[in-house]
Amino acid sequence: VSDMCRSGRGCAWPDEVVFVTALFDDTTEMTPAGLTRAATSDSHERRREALVQRGEALLAWDCRLVLFAEPALMPRLKAARLRASGENGRKRTRFVPMELIDSKYAVHFAALRAMFDEKRQPAGAGAARSPIHVLRRWTKLHCLDAALRAFPTPQTSAFYWINFDAMQTALPPEPS
């Protein structure tokens, strides 16, 4: 592993590789009617800032990145990416505004909620803690699909999912 990778600053990845991630804040609430956007408060604003900070190592990483996030997080994310990786990082990033309730899987939320109310979980849900948690997992597939459609060019050879805050506890992978 190179010194750059060991330092946590990340390694330069070729343009053929695209990493996809998403960041959804906790303003999506479960109500009897389904999912709704919650009103934001000062505590939500502090939480949003903390969420962006948790992903600073990823934002500093020299790679092509497609970042799906709540529209309210976009200004912070764009500024953090520019601050962390400069103009080159900004140019290698596609920011896609998206709310969790806009996921193509959100239509299944009522069924998910009913399953959890009955103390059941969908197959493959693993250790999901709530219907929102399952929806977030499924939404990763939605984001990957959208990223694949956004980069249909032959020079893009691989798409990888990476959790937004993964590099808090792990070093970034090095290009092989």
**C-alpha 54: how far from chain center:** 12
At residue 6, the pLDDT reads 41
pLDDT value at residue 95: 93
The one-character DSSP state at 173 is P
Q: From CA 168, how far away is CA 59, in angstroms rounded?
A: 12
Q: Do β-strands 34-37 and 28-31 pair in parallel, antiparallel, or remain unpaired?
A: antiparallel
Residue 33 contacts residue 40 (beta carbons within 8 Å):
no
pLDDT at residue 9, as a whole number:
46
Specify the pLDDT at position 7.
44
CA distances from 176 to 2, 45, 138, 170 (A): 11, 39, 29, 17
- Within the chain, where are the H helices? 3-6, 42-54, 56-59, 74-91, 109-117, 131-150
pTM here?
A: 0.79
Question: Over its length of 176 residues, how does the chain's per-residue pLDDT go in tens digits?
Answer: 334 444 444 456 667 788 899 988 755 665 655 666 656 667 777 877 888 888 888 898 888 899 999 888 899 999 999 998 888 888 889 999 998 888 898 888 888 888 888 888 777 666 667 888 888 888 988 999 888 887 666 677 788 888 887 766 666 666 66
Q: Residue 156 phi/psi, 5° resolution? A: -90, 115
The rounded distance, in Å, linking the Cα atoms of 29 and 10 is: 35
pLDDT at 91: 87
Scan for tokens 């219907």, then name that residue. 131
Residues 117, 43: Cα–Cα separation, whole Å: 29
